[in-house]
Amino acid sequence: MSRRFAAVDLGASSGRVMLADLSDGLELTEVRRFPNEPVTEAGRLHWDITGLYSEILDGLRDAGLVSSVGVDSWAVDYGLLDESYRLMGNPVHYRDDRTQGVAERVAGSVGAETLYDVSGLQVLPFNTIYQLLADRLDGAVTMLLIPDLIGYWLTGEVGAEVTNASTTGLLDVRTRSWAFPLIEQLGLPAGLFPPLRQPGEAVGKLRRHVADVVGWSAPVTAVGSHDTASAVAAVPASGPAFAYISCGTWSLAGVELPEPVLTPESRAANFTNEAGIDGTVRYLRNVMGLWLLQECLRAWPGSDLRELLKAAAGERPFAAVVNPDEPVFLPPGDMPARIAAECRRTGQEPPSSPAAYVRCVLESLALGHRLAVRQAMELSGRDVEVVHLVGGGSRNELLCQFTADACGLPVVAGPAEATALGNVLVQARSAGLVSDLAEMRSLVAASQPLRRYEPSGDPQAWEKAAARLA
């Protein structure tokens, strides 16, 4: 039996097809990487989903024959299929403004407490529940979240993988089944919601015409199709006393639990209970993440990130800090101008150079990590001895050190490709090559480069900066 597995990993700014070989340990290779740029049509921000699918097919062809394929992506966004099971239009991007005011209307009609008790989900204006209520559903017979849509195109099989379904606001957090009483109360068609799949279950074999395009045939396996679920599965932890930060465009910061936390305090702190691998709960909060830095770089064409990071390390500490989760930072656009405006709004002098902006962003993000980790510990009662920072942000040494300093805890950085690793390891377990979540994590720890950062900054300075944001 082949020990090669392909991971289709779609992020909010780029996608890639990764190839894993478990013949001797765990070797991961990037086969194809491609940009994921939104498109604007008729005033709406969309994903170029057919362009992404074309890149995926090219990547699978380049990967060669594998034992199976798994697909993960960002959460909440979806495609609608008509009665002929054709896509009705490009999926709308979660950063589009069509859901303005919808969350408030739903809370007013259903009740915020009821919503949280059912789904355990934090309130984010772009959650699927609000997108569907802002959408035109006439003629739609099913809704497929992004990885499920790709899986349908690959295999012809319709379904919804549970870790991503848990981000919709329409899954019962206790039973991990669709919350049909809530769906009915909201007036959404029950038929839109397809049968649920668990990570590790078979999706189906590649369609004949897909196999002809890629040059081989193999099954598609359901993985933790929400990219954070796959990333957390690959956290190289050796016990339960850890927090994680999956850091990329977004930072998802929290702890792994056996049961959801549905207290009034948890709801007030806007913490979410999302489904993880093997019945675990990803108890976390979204922090805006490296999006702020990515948008700053777009505003500075030709800038060199490595040089900016080097210069930022020498800038004055805490000259300006902002709350990275302010709604003003959510849309794309001129991020430096918005950071400057937020500094002026809060009585601070805006940064005076690109390096100073980078310092502001990274210190602010580390403060966001600190708040989320500390609240997760307090609200869940979980002791934390180490923070595992995985994803692309683990390559940012300055951010990793700031996070250790801000949290007052050691930070273990890596693996950078945690999402792809979690994806392929669920496939490998379905093939009988690994036994359980603990062995998956042990394999990651043994095979991937990791770096440990000890807290070294002035704790009082971080306390004062946190108080400024509070």
Over residues 317-341, the pLDDT tens digits come to 999 999 999 999 999 999 999 999 9
Whether the CB-CB separation of 21 and 14 falls below 8 Å is answered with no
pLDDT band per the 50, 70, 90 thresholds, residue 294: very high
Give the Cα separation of 183 and 303 in Å (integer): 48
pLDDT for 457 beyond 90: no
Question: φ, ψ for residue 426 (rounded to 5)?
Answer: -65, -40
> What is the band of 74 on the pLDDT scale with cuts at 50, 70, 90?
very high
DSSP letter at 91?
Answer: P
Alpha helices in 234-304 (DSSP H): 264-268, 291-299
The pLDDT value recorded for residue 470 is 83
Under 8 Å between Cβ of 1 and 8: no
Percent of the chain with pLDDT over 90: 97
8 Å CB contact between 419 and 277: no
* DSSP state, residue 191: G
Distance CA 235, CA 254 (A): 12
> 41 near 90, Cβ under 8 Å?
yes
pLDDT of residue 1: 58
| Cα–Cα distance measured from residue 229 to residue 281, given in angstroms and rounded to the nearest whole number | 9
19 bridge partner residues: 6, 29
**Per-residue tokens: 398:** 């300055």
**Residues 84-110: pLDDT tens digits?**
999 999 999 999 999 999 999 999 999
| Structure token pair of residue 19 | 């190839």
CA distance linking residue 56 with residue 150, whole number of Å: 9
- The position carrying tokens 């950078």 is 416
Q: What is the pLDDT of residue 367?
A: 98
pLDDT of 2 strictly over 90: no
Is 227 tagged catalytic? yes
- Tell me what pLDDT residue 239 has: 92
Average pLDDT score, the chain: 97
Q: Taking a C-beta distance cutoff of 8 angstroms, is the pair 392, 16 a contact? A: no
Our CA dihedral for 159, 164, 170, 176, rounded to 10 degrees, sits at: 80
Eight-state DSSP code of residue 3:
-
DSSP per-residue string spanning 436-455:
SHHHHHHHHHHHS--EEE--
User: What is the C-alpha separation between 370 and 326, in angstroms, rounded?
Assistant: 16
**25 φ/ψ sector (left φ>0, alpha ψ -120 to 50, else beta):** left
8-state DSSP, 10: E
C-alpha–C-alpha distance, residues 411 and 291, integer Å: 21
Q: Is residue 427 very low, low, confident or very high in pLDDT (cuts 50, 70, 90)?
A: very high
CA nearest 205: which of 195, 216, 192, 218? Answer: 218
The CB-side HSE value for 469 (13 A sphere, CA atoms) comes to 24
Other CB atoms closer than 10 Å to residue 229's CB: what's the count?
31
pLDDT at 88: 97
Nearest to 129 by CA among 157, 164, 169: 169
Catalytic residue among 9, 72, 96, 227: 227
Residue-wise pLDDT for 376-386, tens only, equals 999 999 999 99
Helix (H, G, I), strand (E, B) or coil at 16: strand
Alpha carbon distance 46, 412 (integer Å): 36
Q: What is the pLDDT of residues 114-160, one digit of tens each?
A: 999 999 999 999 999 999 999 999 999 999 999 999 999 999 999 99
Nearest-5° Cα angle at 100, 96 to 106: 125
Query: What value, to the nearest 5°, has the Cα angle with vertex 321 and ends 317 and 322?
Result: 165
Q: Taking 70 as the threshold, does the pLDDT of residue 435 lie above it?
A: yes
Q: Is residue 149 classed as helix, strand or coil in its secondary structure? A: helix
